[in-house]
Amino acid sequence: MPTDRVTVVIPTYNERENLSHVAAAVTHQGYRLLVVDDSSPDGTGDLADRLASTDSMISVLHRGKKEGLGPAYGAGFDRALDDGAEIVIEMDADFSHDPADLPRLVQAVDDGADLAVGSRYVPGGSTPDWPLVRRLISRGGNLYARVMLGIPVRDSTAGFRAFRAGALRALAYRDAKSSGYAFQVEMAMRAREAGLRIVEVPISFRDRTRGTSKMGTGIVAEAMWLVTVWGVRRIGRAIRIWNR
């Protein structure tokens, strides 16, 4: 597949320290980059505009305010699909996702996957910078989501993933109920419900070295609450079907 039919969507909020580096790494792979900036007060959006003015592979979508990961990705997906992308990739700006792994996700879709997930929790995947407690919490959260929602994905919270364009359109991502990182779980759940082929590609996930993490207790709480609500509804539907 021609590389210019692949668009990497990176949402940004105060990622000025990382943006130039990650933009260069993405376009070095030959892929288009769409920066979705939520009016970062540190000037990330202005920097993105300057990068786009000198590189036709980079484009920028400015949003009026910070509304969360889900709405940012939704707006980015709209733009990428409207621009003719055949594969749309989610990726963080902070190098926790290695741009060198992008071709492996693209290859997985090219080989037949509808959704390729860059996974920390399949053989070959790793989180080398994490302390044991963080690993246990993350693995426990993913196990909880897998059991409650019946998702055949070991890393449903992963934010490094590639969608086939037609599959992405089928997920009605604009109707997502989650605004934070639960958006990733919700998209995995919707992909499973839609019968899409999901493949996990092992990656090494590293902590950021520049800037500040956006993960907070509110985001975690939203994810746990929504997974519980969705899971209870799923179990209720199964019970009703069983009792018919």
pLDDT digits (tens, 9 = 90+) for 121-153: 999 999 998 889 888 988 988 999 999 999 989
Distance, in Å, from the CA atom of 49 to the CA atom of 102, rounded to the nearest integer, reads 23
Burial 84-109 (b: 16+ CB within 10 A, else e): ebbbbbbbbbbbbbbbebbeebbebb
Phi (first) and psi of residue 137, to 5 degrees: -65, -45
Distances (CA, A) of 23 to 8, 13, 77, 155: 10, 15, 18, 25
Q: Is 137 left (phi over 0), alpha (psi -120 to 50) or beta?
A: alpha
pTM listed for this prediction: 0.90
Residue 93 has pLDDT above 90, yes or no: yes
Q: How many CA atoms lie within 13 A of 200 on its CB side?
A: 21
Comparing CA positions, the residue from 194, 192, 197 lying closest to residue 116 is 197
Residue 214 has pLDDT above 80, yes or no: no
Beta strands 115-119 and 58-62, pairing class: unpaired
pLDDT digits over 32-66, tens only?
999 999 999 999 999 999 999 999 999 999 999 88
- Position 46 scores a pLDDT of 97
Residue 190 has pLDDT above 90, yes or no: yes
Residue-number span of the structural domain to which 52 is assigned: 3-242
* Range from 43-47, 104-108, 137-141, 168-172 carrying the lowest mean pLDDT: 137-141
Domain count across the chain: 1
Residue 184 has pLDDT above 90, yes or no: yes
Beta strands 87-90 and 6-12, pairing class: parallel
Contacts of 117 (CB under 8 A, 6+ apart): 153, 155, 156, 158, 160, 161, 188, 198, 199, 200, 201
- Position 45 scores a pLDDT of 96
Task: Using CB atoms within 10 Å of the CB of residue 42, give its burial: 0 to 12 exposed, 13 to 18 middle, 19+ buried.
Answer: middle
225 or 66: which leads in pLDDT = 66
The residues facing 88 across adjacent strands are 7, 163
- Position 114 scores a pLDDT of 98
Residue 216 has pLDDT above 70, yes or no: no
Retrieve residue 63's tokens: 């949003």
Confidence of residue 231 (pLDDT cuts 50, 70, 90): confident
Residue 1 has pLDDT above 60, yes or no: no
Q: What CATH number has the domain bearing residue 103?
A: 3.90.550.10
- Position 212 scores a pLDDT of 64
Phi (first) and psi of residue 152, to 5 degrees: -85, 50
Confidence of residue 232 (pLDDT cuts 50, 70, 90): confident
The CA-CA-CA angle for residues 88, 161, 136, to 5°, reads 160
Retrieve residue 101's tokens: 């792994």
The mean of the pLDDT values for the chain is: 90
